[in-house]
Structure 1
Amino acid sequence: MSVNADLYIEVKDFYARQMRVLDDLDIERFTATFTEDGSVAHPHRGEKVEGREAMRAKMKSMLPMYEGLVTRHWFDHFLIEPAGDDGLRVTYYSLVTQTDTEDQMRFFSSSSVEDRMVRVDGELRIRERVIHRDNPKFGRVI
């Protein structure tokens, strides 16, 4: 089952805004795009972070690895599907690039991502994000 054009545009706009605040390292605004009890999982490294407060702490601990770099998240190939109780299942591919002070750009990661979205006070929020790193030893996920 597909979604209508207005909802498709709303979801794409959500991600465009979410990735800009992430790439700006604005942890507060980024974590606000999740539900209060939202989660982010990285099965390839056996990690799941639950709740906005835990997300903020994890992200703050990782800030040093982004010093001196411009990081960009590139999302594409969206599938947006209704998922019961007015929620959505959104799957897409993610490519992350990093550019250093010498204008050297490298590919940091390639992943497939699955988000469960819900509305909170009329606004889209992510309840659950699972990031599957593209690596043959982890198999094909999405």
Structure 2
Amino acid sequence: MSQATQHTAQRVTPELYVEIQQFYASQMPLLEERRLVEFLETFTEDCTLEHVPFGWRFDGREQLLKEMSARRGDASKPRAEETSARRAREENIAYYDGLVYRYWFDRMLITPAEDGTVKVRYQAIVSMTDAQGKVSFEPTTVVEDVLVRENGALLTRSRVVTHDSAQWADKIHNPN
């Protein structure tokens, strides 16, 4: 471990670490439950969310809500037809219909900054379970968030999701 990494790791207090864990433990179930308006309230009004490589960038809660509403689908509907993320965007269709999906985070590196922001880098995977109990996964990712405080609460100002596969947008969702 480099001296810079050791120094950064020493600056993270147990209280901040637990607060960030609790933040994600509260934030991500909102997305999993498709409570999109509440989920987006955990982001700043001028937030950004970017998927790379060959991905998309969305600016602000309004644009994020429009995008997420089109993609997140309805768990009570029959399972969506097989599609890719790229095709779903081109054809403006949901690809999570009929699926329960979960976000799994690991290996958080928390870096508080002098300006009060907190950078959080972690690895993530998304699992999707259909009505028959079959589980599939999206490509693994590295996520880099910038968290800020507004009225004492943590909010996500920016999120960059980097997929481990350059062809992630062409991966078929919901394969048989």
- What TM-score do you get using the length of structure 1 for normalisation? 0.92
Task: Provide structure 2 residue ranges, at least 5 long, that are not aligned to the other structure.
Answer: 1-7, 74-93, 169-176
**Which amino acid is the alignment partner of residue 81 of structure 1?**
T
Count of aligned pairs: 138
| Partner residue in 1 for 2:76 | none
| Partner residue in 1 for 2:79 | none
**Which amino acid is the alignment partner of residue 58 of structure 2?**
V
Aligned 1:1-142 pairs, distance under 5 A: 1=8, 2-62=11-71, 63=73, 64-135=94-165
8 Å contact 1:97–1:109 — kept in the other structure? Answer: no
Seen in structure 2, the aligned counterparts of structure 1 residues 27 and 126 have a Cα distance that, compared at 3 Å, is same
8 Å contact 2:53–2:166 — kept in the other structure? Answer: no
Shift of 1:137: 7.7
Seen in structure 2, the aligned counterparts of structure 1 residues 115 and 78 have a Cα distance that, compared at 3 Å, is same
3-state SS, counterpart of residue 25 of structure 1: coil
8 Å contact 2:110–2:120 — kept in the other structure? Answer: yes
| Mean Cα deviation higher: 82-91 or 122-131 | 82-91
**Which amino acid is the alignment partner of residue 110 of structure 2?**
I
- Structure with the higher fraction of residues in strand conformation: 1
The superposition leaves residues 40-81 of structure 1 with CA deviations (integer Å, 9 ceiling, x where unpaired) of 001223311010111100101112311110000000100011
**Which amino acid is the alignment partner of residue 80 of structure 1?**
I
The superposition leaves residues 108-140 of structure 1 with CA deviations (integer Å, 9 ceiling, x where unpaired) of 2210000011101110001110000012689xx
Task: Provide structure 1 residue ranges, at least 5 long, that are not aligned to the other structure.
Answer: none
3-state SS, counterpart of residue 19 of structure 1: helix
CA–CA distance in structure 1, aligned partners of residues 54 and 62 of structure 2: 21
CA–CA distance in structure 1, aligned partners of residues 51 and 154 of structure 2: 22
**Which amino acid is the alignment partner of residue 7 of structure 1?**
L
**Which amino acid is the alignment partner of residue 130 of structure 2?**
D
- What TM-score do you get using the length of structure 2 for normalisation? 0.75
8 Å contact 1:43–1:131 — kept in the other structure? Answer: yes
Identity, % of aligned positions: 38
Shift of 1:102: 1.0
4+ residue segments displaced more than 3 Å: none
